[in-house]
Every structure is written in C-alpha cells, then in structure tokens.
Amino acid sequence: MLIKRSPNGIEIPFSSEITPKHIFESRRNFIKQIAAGSIASGALLEMATRQALAQNVRQKLVGKPNLAYVVMDRQSAYKDATTYNNFYEFGTDKADPAKYAGGLKTRPWSIAIEGEVKKPMTLDLDSLMKLAPLEERIYRLRCVEGWSMVIPWIGYSLSALIKKVEPTSKAKFIEFVTLADPKQMPGLRSSVLSWPYVEGLRMDEANHPLALLTFGMYGEVLPHQNGAPVRVVLPWKYGFKSAKSIVKIRFVQEQPKTAWNLAAAQEYGFYSNVNPAVDHPRWSQASERRIGEDGFLTKKRKTLMFNGYNEVASLYAGMDLKKFF
C-alpha cells in the first residue's frame, strides 16, 4: 500500500488506496454535495443506505423477538446460513449465491400486488417494511435435499399484507413471482428451471400466522444470497417453497404452476409439507442432517411432521398427504 507523508510527518494511507476507487469517488462526490448544501438532511440517510446496500454491506435491522415462534435448537452459524444456499438464479452450486449475488441491486425495489384483490397496489420496499411491526422469529428450515438449519428471521406475518389488499372471494391461491433479470443473475442462462422462479400457497396457508414475509436475518437486512430484499419463509414446508427476491404477488383462482413442479412434477408437489412418511424419489425424508452438526459420528436428526410445526395440521385435515405431497 502506498503511504503518503503528511506535513507533520505522520504517515497516512490515502482512503483511495484502502477503498476501491469507485466507492471512494462516489463517497467524495457525496461529501461535496453535502458541503454544497444540495442534499437535504432527510435524504442523507436514504442515500447512505442505498450506497451500503449497493455494496452489500451488512446493515442492522431490528425485529422485536416474538417468543411464540422460537425453536429451542441451537441456531445455525451465520456463516453456514449465508454460504450454503440454494438460489438457482445465481448458480446451482451451494457456494454460488454467496459468490455471485453480491451485485444484486436491491434498491429501488417494489412489489406489485395484483389479481383478485379489491385494492391492487405497488409498494416500494420502505412502505412494505412499515406495514406491520417487524418481529424476530427463530424458525427451523428443512430442505428436501435432507439438510436443515435454524435461523433467526426478521419480518411480519404475510397475513398483514393480505389484509391490506383485501382479496376478493375469488382469490383461492397466492402466487409469488421472483426477480428474473439476466443482467444480474448468471444462473438464468441455465434451463434447469423455467424462469421466473414461481411459488404458491393456498389462501388459508398464506394467512397462517407462521408464514413470514421476511426482510432480515441475524439482526441484519437479508444478505443478497438469502433472498434480499424480501422473501417468504414457510417453516412447515420444504425450503423451496420459501421464494426469494419477490417482485410480484398475485391472487388467483387456480393453483399456481410452480417452478419446481413444472420441472419435475413427480418429485415436487404443490403442497410440499415436510413429511417424514413420504420420501422424495431421490432422498429419504425420514431424517435430516443439521448443517453445522455434521461431525463424522454425529447422528442424523429425525425429521418431524410439518417440521415440528403442528399448529398447521388443521389446514390439511381430511387430505391424503401422500397424494397431495
């Protein structure tokens, strides 16, 4: 690193030498504009936020702990939760999302809410985040591939948003459409799935208080690889139902055609409730490997019906869950 000597002899590294050039220059312009008074103080915070997000800098986000939704298992390590991911828009390897999602532009961001609602609307991220108090909830998430993690998420029940847009009596299902931007997402070059990634729920499932509209994890805004800036987390279902980087929510009459169901209907059903009694054709669902506990002699954990979230059982009363897997 080049060192510049100041007139009083103290050695000071130039910030342009310890900071990448484009970031240094944008900061310098920013400071000049503040000095010239051309940026109002209210706009300062927003600009700083945008700059930080554009650089995928970790940012605090506070949610009030909701003790009704806390699993007692040990939390997964932040490093595991942010480097072992499925986000196929950035590649199919578990390490790809952390490597390639850094540049995802998460602001400005808006979600369009359409279809069978009395109040269709487009909400920007800030308005969406203010719709209900943010809570922290510690959920187990079980992937169909046979692993699980325990993560402290920050968000609020999806039902708060549903209430605001007033679904009509024709709304039977809800569909999540996620970002598909080939300029930002190298994984879209692959035809492993049909893009955009789409997921869906029946209306009563979407209204269950466990269904979390999620903006953060571990006391911070969502890292890009975990579905920034907004995703859902549905802890009683296999992880792939928890759609990341949502841009549109549609209220529809028919069961949505979901990305994984379209790719392999015999492997991925619409419901995809965690069910140890119904194996996936390639992976047993009877037990799971908790990421971070995978020592040589560590025993697998038994997978629990609905991932242990028995409060959802009544949603499926009378349904044959082998048929509707």
Residue 187 CB, shortest distance to ligand MTE, in Å, is 8
Quick check: bond before 108 cis, omega within 30? yes
Residue 95 CB, shortest distance to ligand MTE, in Å, is 11
Note whether 303 binds ligand MTE by CB under 6 A.
no
Residue 259 CB, shortest distance to ligand MTE, in Å, is 8
Note whether 240 binds ligand MTE by CB under 6 A.
yes
Binding residues for ligand MTE restricted to 116-145, rule: CB under 6 A: 141, 143
Residue (116 or 243) nearer to ligand MTE, CB = 243
Note whether 243 binds ligand MTE by CB under 6 A.
yes
Number of residues that bind ligand MTE (CB under 6 A): 17
Q: Which residue sits closest to ligand MTE, CB atoms considered? A: 239
Note whether 245 binds ligand MTE by CB under 6 A.
yes
Residue 2 CB, shortest distance to ligand MTE, in Å, is 40
Q: Closest by alpha carbon to 43, among 56, 34, 35, 52?
A: 34
Residue (150 or 312) nearer to ligand MTE, CB = 150
Stretch that binds ligand MTE, among 19-27, 69-77, 80-88, 157-165 (CB under 6 A): 80-88
Note whether 239 binds ligand MTE by CB under 6 A.
yes
Q: Closest by alpha carbon to 48, among 62, 34, 36?
A: 34
Stretch that binds ligand MTE, among 20-28, 54-62, 63-71, 79-87 (CB under 6 A): 79-87
**Contacts with ligand MTE, residue ranges (CB under 6 A):** 85-89, 141, 143, 178, 197, 226-227, 239-240, 242-245
